[in-house]
Amino acid sequence: MEMSAAAYKNWRFDKEGLPADLIRRGMAVPDPTQPHGLKLLIEDYPYAADGLLIWSAIEDWVRTYVNHYYPNSSQICDDKELQSWYAESINTGHADLRHESWWPTLSNGDDLVSILTTIIWLASAQHAALNFGQYPYGGYVPNRPPLMRRLVPDENDPEYTSFLAGPHKYFLLALPSVLQATKYMAVVDTLSTHSPDEEYLGERQQPWIWSGDGEITEAFFEFSAEIGRIEKEIEKRNSDPSRRNRCGAGVLPYELLVPSSEPGVTCKGVPNSVSI
| Contact (Cβ atoms closer than 8 angstroms) between residue 192 and residue 265 | yes
- When pLDDT is averaged across residues 212-241 and rounded to a whole number, the result is 94
pLDDT at 212: 75
Q: Which long-range contacts (CB under 8 A, 24 or more apart) does 232-236 make?
A: 233/53, 234/50, 234/53, 234/258
Separation of alpha carbons 9 and 192, rounded Å: 28
Residue 220, exposed/middle/buried by CB under 10 A (0-12, 13-18, 19+)?
Answer: buried
pLDDT digits (tens, 9 = 90+) for 125-182: 999 999 999 998 899 999 999 999 998 899 999 889 989 999 999 999 999 999 999 9
pLDDT at 9: 87
pLDDT at 35: 86
pLDDT digits (tens, 9 = 90+) for 175-221: 999 999 999 999 999 999 999 999 999 998 776 677 778 899 899 99
Letter for the amino acid at 13? F
- When pLDDT is averaged across residues 7-30 and rounded to a whole number, the result is 95
Strand pairing class (38-40; 28-30): antiparallel
- When pLDDT is averaged across residues 17-25 and rounded to a whole number, the result is 97
Longest distance between any two alpha carbons in the chain, whole Å:
74
The pLDDT > 90 percentage for the chain reads: 84
Helix, strand, or coil here: 49?
helix
pLDDT at 208: 67
pTM: 0.90
pLDDT at 79: 97
Contact residues for 137 (Cβ-Cβ < 8 A; gap 6+): 143, 144
Mean pLDDT of the chain: 94
Compute φ and ψ for 121, nearest 5 degrees.
Answer: -60, -45
Separation of alpha carbons 31 and 16, rounded Å: 19
Q: Is the dihedral of CA 91, 97, 101, 102 positive or negative?
A: negative
Compute φ and ψ for 66, nearest 5 degrees.
Answer: -65, -45
Separation of alpha carbons 270 and 199, rounded Å: 9
SS (H, E, C) 77-127: HHCHHHHHHHHHHHHCCCHHHCCCCCCCCCCCHHHHHHHHHHHHHHHHHHH
